[in-house]
C-alpha cells in the first residue's frame, strides 16, 4: 500500500515511518506496556499511569488537547504595550519575582526567546510550573504586554508546545503545533518523544474500519491520522486527521450500540399485542380534547411497535406539557386489551400519585383496574396491591421504583412505561426484563429535551419518537428575571393572578442534597414569610421532600382542588405535576437551578388557558448563571434551550459514562460533530445489519476494537 500523501508539503511525515512497516493493531498495542520503551523508568511509568497511560496504545492515543496555529502567534519583536498577545518561544531562564503579598502567592519570571527577540513573561502563583520550564523548553504564552521596569508579558496561560523535531528556533514557520496540557510530572517534550517511539515500535497501525467505509467518507487511514495529530504537517492534513479520529470514535460506539440492539432482537422473545380497540377506542373518544397531530403520529408508532413480535424499545421525547401521558395510557390499554399487564413507573411519589389519580379517573368507565404501588404505602395496603399484581387482577400498575423491587411479581407483565426517564439510571430500564418470560415492551418518556445528537447516542439502541407539537391554545410563559429589589413586584403580580381566582407556585431556592435538613428549614422559612407577611389573606401551603407521603398527598389534593392558592414547594414539583389552574410561578434563588430544571419548573404553569407568568428571582453572579436565566427569558422551546444548555455546560457532564453506559468521548464533540455522528451511525448500523456478530474476517479487527472500547461487560455482544 502506498502512503497517502495529503499535504502539499512532500513527505515530511515519512520521518516517523520506518522503512519497512510492521503492521500492528491498536488492540495489539494495548497489550504492550509502556515500560517496554527505552527511557521509561519507574518515575516516568508512574507519571504516565497518573494520566491513565499504561500501554503503547494509550500512549499513541494521548492526543493533544488542541493545535495552535503558529501563524496567529506574534513575534516578540512586534509586541506592543497594552495588547493581548500569544507568543511561542524557548525558555532562556527562569527566576523568582516578588515576595508573597497577602492574598497573592509569589510568582516567577521566565525569559523567552523566539528568534526575533527576548521578553520576560511573568507568571503569578503556579510555582510548580517554574520547575518544568527548564531552558530550551518550547512554550506558548498568552497574556497582556505591559510596561513595568521594561516590557513584560503578564502571562495568563502558559502551555508547553514542545515539538523538538519540527519547531526549530524559528517558530514562525506558519505551522500547527500540538498543545498539551502542562503536566506536573512529565514534560511535553518527553511525552512526545515517547509517542514517537511508540509509533516507531508500532510500525504501521492497522485500520479496523472497512476500506469501503473509508472510501465512502473520504477518510484518511488511522495510521496517518494518528501521526498527523501528534506531528502535524499542514492545516488540511490536520483537519483530515481530526475528522478521521472523530469518525473513528463515533463509529466504534455506534457499532457497539448497533450490535447490542441486534443481539437483543436476535435473542429476545417478544410478544405481539393485537388489541381489538375495545378499551383504546372508548378512551380516546372520551377525552375532553382531540389529540394533536403529533400525539396521533406517536401513538400510531407505539401501536405498530406493540403489534410487532420483537420487543418494543422506544423513547418518546416531548417537551413539557406536550401530552405524553395520554399517549402512554393508550399504549397501556392496548397491552391490557391483549391480556397483559402494564406498568407505569414515575421518578417521584408525588408524580406517581398524580398519574394514579388522573389515569384511574380517565379510565373510570372502562373495565380496567388501576393499582398504585409506592414505597410509602402502609403494610396492609401494599400487601393488597402486591396480591392484585400477582393474581393479574391489576391491569395497570402505577408506582415509583418500588415497582421493580424483588417482592413485586407480575402475572403477565407485557408493557413497561418509564416516565421522565432522565431521572432514572440506564440500568433500571433493564431490570424488568427478569420479571417475565417474554421481554416486556418498553416505552421510556422524557421531557428533558435531549438534543438530537444526544438522543442518537445516549439512547442509541432506542427508537425515538418525538411529540413536536403542543396542544392548541398554549400560551408562551411570560418570563422575567428580577433581582431582590424587584421581588415585591413579582409577588404583586402573583396577587393579581390570585384575585382572578387562579393559583401560583413559589419554588424555594435549591439547597445541596447533602443539606436536606437545611432544605426543609429554608422551605419553612419561605413559607412563614409568604403566609405571614406577603399573603396573610390567602391560603398558602407547603410541600417539600421530607414530608411523609400522606401529608404530601393531602397538600397536593388541596392544591388541585383550589383550597390552597399558593403552594410553596421545593423541587418535588419539578416533574410532571399538572394543575391547570395554576398560572404563575415564582422561582426563588433561580440562579442556582440548572436550565432544564428551570424549564421543567416553568412548565408547571403552561397548561391552563390564561397567559402564564414566571418570575426568576435571583442574583446571578456568574456569566453562566446569567446566560441560563437570559436564555430562559428568551426561549420557550425546550429543544432550543437544551442546545443552549449544552453549549453553556460543555458536554462532559451529559455524556458521563455512568449515565449512559458508554465510554466518554475523547476527541468527538457531539454538538460540533453532529454531521459526522450521523454518517458514522448510518455506516455502523448498516454494517451490523449485514454482519450482526461481525464474524466476517474483514470485520474481526473492528469487533476486537469495539469489544475493548466497551469493556468486558459487553463480552456477550458478539456471541451468536
Ligand atoms: P407532559 O408531556 O408534560 O407529561 P401531560 O401528559 O401531563 O404533559 O399533559 C399536560 C396537560 O395537557 C394535561 O392537563 C393534559 O390533560 C393536557 N393535554 C394533553 N393532550 C392534550 C390535547 N391534545 N389537547 C389539549 N390538552 C391536552
Ligand atoms: Mg409528564
Per-residue pLDDT tens for 554-572?
Answer: 898 899 999 999 999 887 6
**CA 320–ligand 2 middle distance (angstroms):** 7
E strands of 518-673, at which residues?
540-543, 566-569, 582-588, 613-617
Nearest Cα residue to atom 5 of ligand 1: 323
Question: Could you tell which of 296, 323, 449 is best to mutate to test the pocket of ligand 1, judged by most ligand atoms within 8 Å of the CB?
Answer: 323
For residue 245, pLDDT over 90 is answered with yes
pLDDT tens readout for residues 220-231: 999 999 999 988
For residue 3, pLDDT over 70 is answered with no
Which pLDDT band holds residue 101 (cuts at 50, 70, 90)? low
pLDDT tens readout for residues 352-376: 888 898 899 899 999 999 999 988 8
Q: Are 359 and 287 in contact (CB under 8 A)?
A: no
Q: Pick the residue with more confidence: 538 or 163?
A: 538
- Whole-number average pLDDT of the chain: 82
Q: What pLDDT is recorded for position 662?
A: 58
Q: What pLDDT is recorded for position 260?
A: 82
Grid cell 401494599 is found at 382
Q: What pLDDT is recorded for position 102?
A: 55
Q: Which ligand is nearest to the CA of 467?
A: 1
Question: Could you tell which of 322, 351, 471 is best to mutate to test the pocket of ligand 1, judged by most ligand atoms within 8 Å of the CB?
Answer: 471
| pLDDT (average), residues 436-440 | 69
* Residue 438 CB coordination number (10 Å): 17
- Parse the chain into domains and list their residue ranges: 72-174, 207-267+674-720, 280-467, 478-635
Q: What pLDDT is recorded for position 522?
A: 81
Q: Which segment of 539-543, 595-599, 690-694 scores lowest on mean pLDDT? A: 595-599
- For residue 462, what are the contacts with CB-CB under 8 A and spacing of at least 6? 313, 314, 315, 444
Q: Which ligand is nearest to the CA of 351?
A: 2
- What CATH superfamily is the domain 478-635? P-loop containing nucleotide triphosphate hydrolases (3.40.50.300)
| pLDDT (average), residues 296-306 | 96
| Per-residue buried b or exposed e for 98-115, using 16+ beta carbons within 10 Å of the residue's own CB | eeeeeeeeebbbbbbbbe
pLDDT tens readout for residues 690-699: 999 899 998 9
For residue 103, pLDDT over 60 is answered with no
Q: Which of 26, 439, 457, 25 is nearest to 258 (CA)?
A: 457
Q: What pLDDT is recorded for position 169?
A: 37
For residue 120, pLDDT over 90 is answered with yes
**CA 495–ligand 2 middle distance (angstroms):** 28
Q: Which ligand is nearest to the CA of 359?
A: 1
**CA 286–ligand 1 middle distance (angstroms):** 14
Q: What pLDDT is recorded for position 668?
A: 85
Nearest Cα residue to atom 25 of ligand 1: 471
- The set of protein residues with a Cβ atom below 6 angstroms from ligand 1 is 289, 291-292, 295, 318, 320-326, 447, 471, 576, 578, 580, 607
Which pLDDT band holds residue 519 (cuts at 50, 70, 90)? low
Q: Pick the residue with more confidence: 99 or 449?
A: 449
For residue 316, pLDDT over 50 is answered with yes
Nearest Cα residue to atom 18 of ligand 1: 323
CA of 546: how far to CAs of 140, 346, 525, 570, 572, in Å?
Answer: 53, 18, 15, 10, 10
> Are 72-174 and 478-635 the same fold in CATH?
no
In angstroms, rounded to a whole number, what is the distance separating the alpha carbons of residues 217 and 699?
18
Helices (H), ranges, 369-413:
379-391
Point out the ligand 1 atom lying closest to the alpha carbon of residue 320: 3
**CA 325–ligand 1 middle distance (angstroms):** 7
**Helix H or strand E encompassing 138:** strand 138-147
**CA 640–ligand 1 middle distance (angstroms):** 21
Nearest Cα residue to atom 4 of ligand 1: 324
Q: Which ligand is nearest to the CA of 316?
A: 1
- DSSP letter (8 states) at residue 80: -
Class of domain 72-174: mainly beta
| pTM for this model (two decimals) | 0.72
Q: What percent of the chain has pLDDT over 90?
A: 35
Which pLDDT band holds residue 643 (cuts at 50, 70, 90)? confident
- What CATH superfamily is the domain 280-467? P-loop containing nucleotide triphosphate hydrolases (3.40.50.300)
For residue 392, pLDDT over 90 is answered with yes
Point out the ligand 1 atom lying closest to the alpha carbon of residue 603: 3
Amino acid at each position: 500500500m502506498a502512503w497517502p500523501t495529503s499535504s502539499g508539503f512532500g513527505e515530511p511525515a515519512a520521518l516517523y515511518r520506518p522503512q519497512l512497516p510492521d503492521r500492528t493493531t491498536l488492540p495489539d498495542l494495548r497489550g504492550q506496556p509502556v515500560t517496554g520503551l527505552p527511557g521509561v523508568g519507574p518515575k516516568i511509568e508512574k507519571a504516565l499511569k497518573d494520566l491513565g497511560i499504561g500501554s503503547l496504545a494509550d500512549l499513541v492515543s494521548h492526543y493533544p488537547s488542541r493545535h495552535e496555529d503558529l501563524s496567529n502567534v506574534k513575534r516578540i519583536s512586534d509586541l506592543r504595550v497594552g495588547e493581548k498577545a500569544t507568543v511561542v518561544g524557548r525558555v532562556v531562564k527562569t527566576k523568582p519575582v516578588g515576595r508573597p503579598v497577602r492574598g497573592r502567592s509569589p510568582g516567577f519570571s521566565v525569559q523567552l526567546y523566539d528568534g526575533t527577540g527576548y521578553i520576560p513573561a511573568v507568571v503569578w502563583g503556579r510555582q510548580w510550573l517554574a520547575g518544568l520550564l527548564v531552558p530550551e523548553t518550547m512554550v506558548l504564552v498568552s497574556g497582556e504586554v505591559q510596561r513595568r521596569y521594561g516590557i513584560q508579558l503578564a502571562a495568563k496561560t502558559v502551555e508547553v508546545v514542545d515539538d523538538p523535531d519540527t519547531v526549530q528556533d524559528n517558530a514562525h514557520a506558519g505551522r500547527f503545533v500540538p498543545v498539551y496540557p502542562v503536566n506536573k510530572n512529565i514534560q511535553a517534550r518527553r511525552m512526545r518523544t515517547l509517542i514517537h517511539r511508540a509509533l516507531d515500535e508500532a510500525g504501521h497501525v492497522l485500520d479496523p474500519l472497512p476500506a469501503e467505509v473509508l472510501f465512502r467518507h473520504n477518510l484518511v487511514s488511522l495510521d496517518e491520522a494518528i501521526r498527523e495529530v501528534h506531528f502535524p504537517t499542514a492545516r488540511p492534513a490536520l483537519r483530515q486527521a481530526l475528522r478521521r479520529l472523530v469518525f473513528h470514535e463515533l463509529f466504534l460506539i455506534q457499532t457497539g450500540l448497533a450490535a447490542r440492539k441486534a443481539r437483543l432482537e436476535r435473542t429476545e422473545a417478544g410478544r405481539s399485542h393485537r388489541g381489538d380497540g375495545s378499551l383504546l377506542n372508548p378512551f380516546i373518544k372520551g377525552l375532553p380534547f382531540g389529540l394533536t397531530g403529533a400525539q396521533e403520529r406517536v401513538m400510531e408508532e407505539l401501536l405498530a411497535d406493540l403489534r410487532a413480535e420483537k420487543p418494543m424499545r422506544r423513547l418518546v421525547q416531548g417537551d413539557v406539557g406536550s401530552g405524553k401521558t395520554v399517549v402512554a395510557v393508550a399504549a397501556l390499554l392496548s397491552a391490557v386489551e391483549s391480556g397483559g399487564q402494564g406498568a407505569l413507573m414515575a421518578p417521584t411519589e408525588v408524580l406517581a400519585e398524580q398519574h394514579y389519580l388522573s389515569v384511574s379517573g380517565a379510565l373510570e368507565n372502562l373495565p380496567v383496574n388501576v393499582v398504585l404501588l409506592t414505597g410509602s404505602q402502609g403494610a396492609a395496603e401494599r400487601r393488597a396491591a402486591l396480591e392484585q399484581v400477582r393474581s393479574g387482577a391489576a391491569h395497570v400498575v402505577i408506582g415509583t421504583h418500588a415497582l421493580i423491587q424483588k417482592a413485586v411479581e407480575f402475572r403477565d407483565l407485557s408493557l413497561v412505561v418509564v416516565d421522565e426517564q432522565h431521572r432514572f439510571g440506564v440500568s433500571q430500564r433493564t431490570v424488568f426484563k427478569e420479571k417475565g418470560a417474554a421481554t416486556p415492551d418498553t416505552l421510556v418518556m422524557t421531557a428533558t429535551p435531549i438534543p438530537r445528537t444526544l438522543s442518537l447516542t445516549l439512547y442509541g439502541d432506542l427508537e425515538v419518537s418525538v411529540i413536536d407539537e403542543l396542544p392548541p391554545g398554549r400560551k408562551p410563559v411570560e418570563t422575567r428575571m428580577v433581582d431582590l429589589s424587584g421581588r415585591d413586584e413579582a409577588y404583586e403580580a402573583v396577587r393579581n393572578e390570585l384575585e382572578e381566582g387562579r393559583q401560583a407556585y413559589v419554588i424555594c431556592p435549591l439547597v445541596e442534597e447533602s443539606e436536606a435538613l437545611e432544605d426543609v428549614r429554608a422551605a419553612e422559612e419561605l413559607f412563614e414569610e409568604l403566609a405571614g407577611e406577603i399573603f396573610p389573606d390567602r391560603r398558602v401551603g407547603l410541600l417539600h421532600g421530607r414530608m411523609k407521603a400522606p401529608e404530601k398527598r393531602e397538600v397536593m389534593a388541596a392544591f388541585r382542588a383550589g383550597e390552597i392558592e399558593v403552594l410553596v414547594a421545593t423541587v418535588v414539583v419539578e416533574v410532571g405535576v399538572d394543575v391547570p389552574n395554576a398560572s404563575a410561578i415564582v422561582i426563588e434563588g433561580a440562579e442556582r437551578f440548572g436550565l432544564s430544571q428551570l424549564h421543567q419548573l416553568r412548565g408547571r404553569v403552561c397548561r391552563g388557558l390564561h397567559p402564564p407568568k414566571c418570575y426568576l428571582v435571583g442574583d446571578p453572579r456568574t456569566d453562566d448563571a446569567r446566560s441560563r436565566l437570559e436564555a430562559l427569558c428568551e426561549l420557550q422551546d425546550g429543544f432550543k434551550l437544551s442546545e443552549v444548555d449544552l453549549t453553556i455546560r460543555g458536554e462532559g457532564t451529559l455524556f458521563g459514562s455512568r449515565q449512559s453506559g458508554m465510554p466518554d468521548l475523547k476527541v468527538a464533540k457531539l454538538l460540533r460533530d453532529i454531521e459526522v455522528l450521523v454518517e458514522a451511525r448510518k455506516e455502523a448500523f448498516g454494517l451490523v445489519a449485514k454482519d450482526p456478530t461481525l464474524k466476517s474476517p474483514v470485520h474481526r479487527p473492528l469487533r476486537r476494537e469495539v469489544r475493548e472500547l466497551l469493556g468486558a461487560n459487553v463480552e456477550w455482544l458478539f456471541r451468536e
